[in-house]
Structure 1
């Protein structure tokens, strides 16, 4: 793990600190071409316990956030069913920053510009702690998934292919 840079506090980390929710901040050097699975393995972490944050838009126009393991693929039909939508599609990368305040590869479910309905893959319940983006590339948060639910409301669902 790399040391925390001086300006390391992201919206996600500030919200966790303000709420007093236990978590660990992890920093690492990431190559732009590395996949989430490669990053997990390079840090000695189980890729099944490291989650990526995906932002989608439903047929109704509503936005939804999904956390799935980095080695898995979001099943858009299951995601739509969980969200009560007829269909769901991933948003374009260029839409991510204006919508959430985060960039691709550094999107956290915590601290977005607006809170969207959030769903976490049910496999998160198998782990005492999970990892997900801390709000910028090279920063992750490790915490208990139930503690995440104390800060942002979410539902567990079967979300992967």
Structure 2
């Protein structure tokens, strides 16, 4: 690959196909990096950088939740919103096979299937958000409405108080 040439992930390809505007951001990857560290590396407020969490209700039912990196998912509340009795986090070993993405590089955009997706209500106060581009070391900056559109996301309160 030529120096400076960006890798096209499924997320990037899908945004391009749907002619959705976005900015692609690359950052250097350390051995141990979390969402808050990513926010600092890419130079955006922690409140604007979101992580993608995949849950399961068992028997092939999967749900995607996109929340600020510094927040914690409210599993009980999200189960209620999703219309299921109980949700649990998808085991890391099942993430790649289910979504096509790895931990730390899981984008809500361009998964193997379009799972029911929910976006935290804090996006109503933001003019842009930053999510994984589908590869560790790459992020996408886009308008929240564009993320809602491309993922068919519902907006709701998803985090622990």
Separation of aligned partners in 1, 2:28 and 2:96: 22
Aligned twin of 2:125: 126
Once the two structures are superposed, what CA deviation does each residue of 1:102-148 show, in whole Å capped at 9, x if it has no partner?
00000001111111000000001111000000000010000001011
Q: Which runs of 4+ in 1 moved over 4 A?
A: none
TM-score by length of 1: 0.93
TM-score by length of 2: 0.93
Post-superposition offset of 1:94? 0.6
* Contact 1:52–1:69 (8 Å) recurs in 2: yes
User: SS of the counterpart of 2:67?
Assistant: strand
Separation of aligned partners in 2, 1:24 and 1:30: 19
* Contact 1:107–1:135 (8 Å) recurs in 2: yes
Aligned twin of 1:141: 140
Aligned twin of 1:151: 150
User: SS of the counterpart of 2:136?
Assistant: coil
Separation of aligned partners in 1, 2:62 and 2:139: 23
Structure 1's unaligned 5+ residue stretches are none
Structure 2's unaligned 5+ residue stretches are none
Once the two structures are superposed, what CA deviation does each residue of 1:33-61 show, in whole Å capped at 9, x if it has no partner?
11110110232211111000000001564
CA root-mean-square deviation: 1.4
Matched positions, count: 158
